[in-house]
Amino acid sequence: MAYRMDTLCGIFHNQALRYGDQVELLRAKFDRDGNPSSDWHSRTWKETRDEAIALAKGLMVLGLNKGDRIVIFSESRPRWIIADQAIQACCAVGVPLYPTLTVEELGYMTSDSGAKIVIASTQDRGEMAIKAKAQGVPIEKIITMCSWNGTKPEGVFTFDEVIALGKSKISDEEVEKKINSVVPDDVASIIYTSGTTGKQKGAILTQKNWVANIHQGSNSTLLRRQRELGLHLTFLVHLPMCHVFGRTTDYHVGALQQGGILVFAESFEKIPKNLLEVRPNVIISIPRLWEKIYDTTKSIVSRQNKTTQSIFNWAMKLGGKYSDAMASATRLGMIDLLQFALANILVFNKIKKTAGLDRVVLGVSGGGKLSKDVCVFIRSLGIQLSEGYGLTETSPVINFNEPEFSSSYDISKAGWFGNKMIDLTVDLMITKQAQGLSPYTNPIRSLSLSLAYNTVAHKLQIKPGTVGKPALWTEEKIAEDGEILVKGPQVFKGYWNLPEATAEAFTEDGWFKTGDIGEFDKDGFLLITDRKKELFVTSGGKNIAPHPIELALTAKPYIDQVCLLGDARKYLSALIVPDFQELHRFSKHNGIPACSDKDIIANEQVKELIKKQVDEVNETLPRYEQIKYYKVLDKPFSVESGELTPTLKLKRRIVFEKYKDDIESMYVN
């Protein structure tokens, strides 16, 4: 049977019927019972659909009805997607929560949403739900995605037990009828904000919000051609599915829209290992991953001989020229083009192969600002790194900076030859590269690329340092105070149980207030300058955006994290977390005895090294933006210790509270 194409569940089931057992959908190091495994295990589209329908039957037996809320308390894994589709098949509302939450946070969001059932990934998380229940949270049933060791308390079920419950009690026809009864205006999810500036709020997102964003995030010429070719690219999934960014990009656009294969990384820390095992085609991540790839490469090069360093710097210079040409949609000169091809053969292809990036055709960075230097480096590798911008409340994509033909080129008038050249570009940049076939290492491919580039491909435009133009169907404008305002079908209905906060989120004439400060350049590309609530006003009345200064500091090779301070103060100061891995290498190279992280930052040579890097940044800034004092910390900010959100954004409020004494010591005079 056919399902609707304007709901997430309708799209999923149509694709599952289309691809069946012929196409793999999910792969991870979990066995069929949801337990960790040392080997990769796969599910086809049909197998995934069958398990989602079977779980939906069991949830119906447990009493899950239309509009009921149900928590998914799990890291990203195959059964996260199966649980989500089962919930939608029951016409219920999913409440995905971060797996790093405390018992108190889990209890708050479960109670606030009114969810009576919690689906937890592991026994440990199931036991956290039991503790929350003991503290008065009205949880009626707990379901774990894996097996349970020991005696289960009353009201606790495993995935397989829930599936067994519904096997003979609910028919496939009943489930299919429910799936088709879901309509675009139905609430699909309540997504809690990350809480960088206060208490988490539940954003209400409808089926229409999600589906609109699928089309908005996959509207480029290259992605449309990819769908037409029926390519099934491999995505290395490591972002939390409970966050709108990872959910929309990997799951909704990557799998549901593009038919991609989702391979779940074991953890963020194991990404380098998984890259070499999987050799993916698409990596969607936060700036930290791309920065790590760049920093690691620079660190390795810095330890090579002078000739190797010169060759690398020469290649990077050509990469900069290539990136600048793409930013303005102009043709790179033939001599530079030939040299750039040689740079790929001698330098960039080797870097990619060593890192497991040789089959990557597309990268996406979101959740924070990425430095231009990192953008240029990744694009020099032949990876079309796109930046996006959005919020939980906008499902999330508002802007997308991806390779697209500039406004000066009318693709509708490309003609037969122009379209052939676009197809050739897609074949070389996506199809062949996804197979690990560099266009520069084969004479025929190299000549073909030169032909495609000099006719149409050079007209593809992407601007480093911006987040792109407004997405399809999106209206955007800048308020008088610089705040970005937006309208579009992806904008949420409001906050759960918070009518006043909902009203505050919109202007009187219906524009959603993003809370971000930005401006458009002459080509209509948006530049984000900072968060409105994070702008500092010094006691001298100077307005300062902290993020660009923090970004300049973390771009330095021995500085990993920074929290700038100075709101309502006489001057700026900073908490600095060094890159301990690089500091230990520096220490070894300079004969400093092996010691702990705490000891290493007390070393005079290391102190001088950090000071030099802060001074270098200060020299580029006006006096009122310079950092007068700083404190070097002996341990990093982390999600576990509370200073970072699960997408690694800084929780300034928590940092200020936790390091209050250190901060005050920099303002004693």
In the predicted model, is pLDDT for residue 430 greater than 90? Answer: yes
CATH of the domain at 579: 3.30.300.30
In the predicted model, is pLDDT for residue 232 greater than 80? Answer: yes
Q: Which pLDDT tens digit goes with each residue over 486-507?
A: 999 999 999 999 999 999 999 9
Over the chain, what is the mean pLDDT?
94
Residue type, 242: C
3-state secondary structure of 490: coil
* Domain coverage including residue 126: 31-183
Check residue 195 and give its pLDDT: 66
Number of folded domains that form the chain: 2
Check residue 487 and give its pLDDT: 98
556's tokens: 């330095």
In a domain, 7, yes or no: no
248's tokens: 């929309």
In a domain, 577, yes or no: yes
Task: Determine the Cα–Cα distance for residues 112 and 376; give it in Å rounded to an integer.
Answer: 44
Check residue 669 and give its pLDDT: 66
In a domain, 433, yes or no: no
Q: Which of 136, 159, 183 marks a domain boundary?
A: 183
DSSP secondary structure, 189-258, as one string: EEEE---SSSS--EEEEEHHHHHHHHHHTT-SHHHHHHHHHT--PEEEE-S-TTSHHHIIIIIIIIIIIT
Residue 392's alpha-carbon distances to 195, 248, 526, in angstroms, are: 11, 11, 19
pLDDT band at 482 (very low <50, low <70, confident <90, very high): very high
> Is the CB of residue 85 less than 8 Å from the CB of residue 94?
no
Segment 457-471 mean pLDDT: 93
Cα 335 → chain centroid: 37
In a domain, 464, yes or no: no
Q: Which of 183, 209, 226 marks a domain boundary?
A: 183
Check residue 626 and give its pLDDT: 94
In a domain, 341, yes or no: no
In a domain, 592, yes or no: yes
Q: Which pLDDT tens digit goes with each residue over 26-81?
A: 999 999 889 999 999 999 999 999 999 999 999 999 999 999 999 999 999 999 99
In a domain, 523, yes or no: no
Torsion of CA 287, 291, 293, 294, to 10 degrees: 140
Task: Determine the Cα–Cα distance for residues 141 and 52; give it in Å rounded to an integer.
Answer: 19
Residue 455's alpha-carbon distances to 332, 340, 430, 448, 452, in angstroms, are: 12, 18, 18, 11, 5
In the predicted model, is pLDDT for residue 197 greater than 60? Answer: no
Segment 512-541 mean pLDDT: 88
Q: Which of 129, 150, 183 marks a domain boundary?
A: 183
Q: Which pLDDT tens digit goes with each residue over 537-596?
A: 888 788 888 988 998 999 898 999 999 999 888 899 999 999 999 999 899 888 888 789
End-to-end Cα spacing for the chain: 75
pLDDT band at 530 (very low <50, low <70, confident <90, very high): confident
Segment 147-173 mean pLDDT: 95
In a domain, 120, yes or no: yes
The answer for residues whose C-beta is within 8 angstroms of residue 608's C-beta and 6 or more apart is none
| pTM exceeds cut of 0.85 | yes
